[in-house]
Amino acid sequence: MKIVILSRDHNLYSTKRLVEAGEKKGHEVIVVDHSKCDLVIEKKKPGIIYKGHMITDVDAVIPRIGASVTFFGTAVVRQFEMMKVFTAIESQALVRSRDKLRSLQILSRAGLGLPKTVFTNYSRNVSDIVKSVGGAPLVIKLLEGTQGLGVVLAENDNAAESVIEAFNGLKARVIVQEFISEAQGADIRAFVVDGVVVGAMKRQAKKGEFRSNLHRGGTAEIIELSEDEENAALKAARVLGLGIAGVDMLQSKQGPLILEVNSSPGLEGIEAATGKDIANSIIRYVERNV
């Protein structure tokens, strides 16, 4: 089988692990930088040119699309779909997951637990926004932020109002969420592949930090999910249509609360924390569908 991994850097841990896992199973695996693809749109004959050559005879694609190139990366995935190639993450699911507001609306409609969230169109009634989520402390997130960037914890109402007004002045769209104090700076990442949780870890923020992202110095350890947590992770991936997903949750008095569903979750942290071969699970998922 010929598998294409869409990645801008073949040296990234996740990309290298997927190549290793695919080749170990006897497949031909090539890494394609989706930002350097040219899309040929022609009646009944869609094609992709990469480094001067038409890409042909591909059986499956595993997208690793970064948030900064979502628009064009999704177009490349869609082009493979038009060429009747199986994609481990469908283009529309990728678009849904990258739109934080849309994904929260879908998760809410599905009845999944979420921190109370407010989104406005640069409202001037900032104090009302703060009150709507129960007051400070609260969390303010840029809609386009990733890996903990663009996430602010406002400790009091005045600070919250100042931060929201500053973002509004910059025309930066934000969501405002209640702060779940009982989570104590920790969250859970459940890694879902083809409707199964193949690994889960608990990430703990470093001292003095509330963001638990490993890129921000957080630590991770393996965790066994409760039945409610596992069901929430599986349902979140399913309603967003994701065959591969990293579902981030908070443990709260109300049960698991979904923070975000990542369509290109990294493998390094989850494999290190759990000791599981997640890359192989992804290759097996591709094999089952091709």
For residue range 157-213, what is the model confidence (pLDDT) as tens digits? 999 999 999 988 888 888 899 999 888 888 999 999 999 999 999 998 776 555 656
In a domain, 102, yes or no: no
Clarify whether residues 196 and 255 are in a common domain: yes
Clarify whether residues 157 and 81 are in a common domain: no
Return the biggest CA–CA distance within the chain.
60
Clarify whether residues 123 and 92 are in a common domain: no
Domain boundary among 127, 151, 179: 179
CATH number of the domain that 52 lies in? 3.40.50.20
Q: Which of 170, 189, 183 is nearest to 139 (CA)?
A: 183
β pairing state of 53-54 and 117-119: unpaired
Structure tokens at 19: 């190549």
* Omega within 30 of 0 (cis) for the link into 137: yes
In a domain, 199, yes or no: yes
In a domain, 194, yes or no: yes
Distance CA 285, CA 290 (A): 9
In a domain, 280, yes or no: yes
Total domains in the chain come to 3
Q: What pLDDT digit, counting tens, does each position of 251-264 carry?
A: 999 999 999 999 99
Distance CA 140, CA 133 (A): 11
pTM of the model: 0.90
In a domain, 274, yes or no: yes
* Sheet containing 37-40: order of strands: 37-40, 47-50, 53-54
Clarify whether residues 91 and 38 are in a common domain: yes
Clarify whether residues 155 and 210 are in a common domain: no
- Domain membership of residue 171 as a residue range: 117-179
In a domain, 211, yes or no: yes
In a domain, 110, yes or no: no
Clarify whether residues 29 and 87 are in a common domain: yes
Q: What pLDDT digit, counting tens, does each position of 106-164 carry?
A: 999 999 999 999 998 888 889 999 999 989 899 998 877 555 577 888 999 999 999 99
**DSSP code of residue 121:** S
In a domain, 261, yes or no: yes
Q: CB-based contacts of 105: which residues, under 8 Å, 6+ apart?
A: none
Under a CB-based contact definition with an 8 Å cutoff, are residues 211 and 147 in contact? Answer: no
Clarify whether residues 224 and 256 are in a common domain: yes
Clarify whether residues 65 and 78 are in a common domain: yes
Q: Which of 38, 69, 65 is nearest to 51 (CA)?
A: 38
Domain boundary among 179, 204, 219: 179
Q: Which of 137, 134, 129, 5 is nearest to 76 (CA)?
A: 5
**DSSP code of residue 64:** -
